Chains A and B, each alone.
Chain A
């Protein structure tokens, strides 16, 4: 049977997409050094567990989806996922391999579980997907890992609630662990932590709240799922609402997990960056 070995979360700021190809030169750069220093333990954990598949829960920022059709939850079911020009100059990177058979198993299971998702046989993946993949597997060396993008709407309100996203994660977890093939799966939640790009409150960061989230998400995530989206926006900033993607990731994992690694840094671009690696109990 397939099993979920663990989960990772990381911020996905576009500026990182420009910095990643220069990581070696930036290791001593005062702005970037602390940020990049956080990633080797996450990469080492991935090299140890050697996952076959990564389910990547992210948000599209206007590359694949527009307001003409805006699904709340969308699951990729393609053989390949292409990156493309997002309009502001992040270098595009090679395509990612999919696992459509597992995708359809997840889609069937989710709809059976009352999560009526949108299935996508073509799906462009933007920095919300590519930046975390580039951070966790440098130089596009994905080690044969196949990917399944799960996109959650954070563009247009109403956004799905923290509780709903956590439950979606739980349903994805049930789907994966009912798949008959012997696969090791990791789940990646991207985005966050606190940040706000728009309005007079642009530049808002909430360190105390972020640290609470990083702590509670490990073994008391239910506490965080009690928030409304409005409260999350108040606490984490308009785009800090991306924390719902972290909660979806956490839902996929078992009740008890072990924290392997975490990091928090203010700021890259306008964002407080967070990194977390959690391992499921065997």
Chain B
């Protein structure tokens, strides 16, 4: 997993001359082979949530369901605490995590706000402001 930690001065302006530099992108995690190996069981569990019976079984006993899929202690803790960033740090891929969030009726805006550490209202305002 490529974890971006350094900060950039300013975002590259959109132009017709694109660089090919691989400077880290702050707050962005490339879901690559390393992350995919680390998060395999976590993502596999979330993939199982395509099925309504599996969602019901998870809700009946979350911890047992996590153990059935062989999640690590960190992954299980992240699931039980609904901590999306911690899931990502432990190899979660947002496309599968979204199925987990859906069980609790959380939208991508709820999930986005949680990761940014702001309220959902603030998050929505921020989205809108980028169109102005």
**Residues in chain A within 8 A of chain B (CB atoms):** 15, 61-63, 66-67, 84-89, 155-158, 196-203, 205-209, 212, 216, 223, 226-228, 230-231, 233-235, 238-239, 265-267, 269-270, 272
Please, how many angstroms separate the alpha-carbon atoms of A90 and B113 in the complex?
22
Closest B residue to A229 by beta carbon equals B30
Q: Would you call A158 and B32 a contact (CB within 8 A)? A: yes
Known: A87-B55, A205-B127. A197 touches B26 (CB 8 A): no
Contact of B116 among A87, A156, A203, A206 (CB under 8 A): A203
Residues 1-36 of B at the A interface (beta carbon under 8 Å): 11-16, 18-23, 25-33, 36
Please, how many angstroms separate the alpha-carbon atoms of A203 and B111 in the complex?
10
B70: Cβ under 8 A from any A Cβ:
no
Chain A residues with CB under 8 Å of B50's CB are: 62-63, 84-87
Q: Would you call A197 and B112 a contact (CB within 8 A)? A: yes
Contact of B115 among A158, A202, A212, A227 (CB under 8 A): A202
Beyond A197-B94, A202-B115, A231-B12: 12 further Cβ-contacts under 8 Å? A67-B36, A156-B33, A157-B30, A198-B28, A198-B84, A206-B11, A208-B14, A209-B14, A212-B14, A233-B30, A234-B11, A265-B131
Please, how many angstroms separate the alpha-carbon atoms of A87 and B95 in the complex?
11
Contact of A238 among B28, B43, B103, B126 (CB under 8 A): B28
Known: A67-B40, A157-B31, A200-B26. A87 touches B131 (CB 8 A): no
**Residues in chain B within 8 A of chain A (CB atoms):** 11-16, 18-23, 25-33, 36, 40, 43-44, 46-47, 49-52, 55, 84-85, 88, 93-99, 101-103, 107-109, 111-113, 115-117, 123, 126-128, 130-131
Closest B residue to A15 by beta carbon equals B107
Known: A200-B116, A202-B112. A234 touches B47 (CB 8 A): no
Closest B residue to A270 by beta carbon equals B108
Q: Which of B85, B97, B107, B108 has the most CB of A within 10 A?
A: B108
Please, how many angstroms separate the alpha-carbon atoms of A266 and B127 in the complex?
8
Known: A197-B94, A200-B27, A266-B130. A85 touches B51 (CB 8 A): yes
Please, how many angstroms separate the alpha-carbon atoms of A233 and B26 in the complex?
11
Q: Would you call B116 and A88 a contact (CB within 8 A)? A: no
Please, how many angstroms separate the alpha-carbon atoms of A266 and B11 in the complex?
20
Please, how many angstroms separate the alpha-carbon atoms of A162 and B72 in the complex?
36
Please, how many angstroms separate the alpha-carbon atoms of A138 and B18 in the complex?
38
Known: A157-B32, A207-B130, A266-B128. A197 touches B108 (CB 8 A): yes
Please, how many angstroms separate the alpha-carbon atoms of A206 and B15 in the complex?
12
Q: Would you call B22 and A202 a contact (CB within 8 A)? A: no
Known: A199-B115, A200-B115, A234-B25. A267 touches B128 (CB 8 A): yes
Q: How far is the CB of A137 from chain B (nearest CB, A)?
A: 25
- Shortest 3 CB-CB distances between A and B: which pairs? A88-B102, A266-B131, A201-B27
Q: Would you call A201 and B32 a contact (CB within 8 A)? A: no
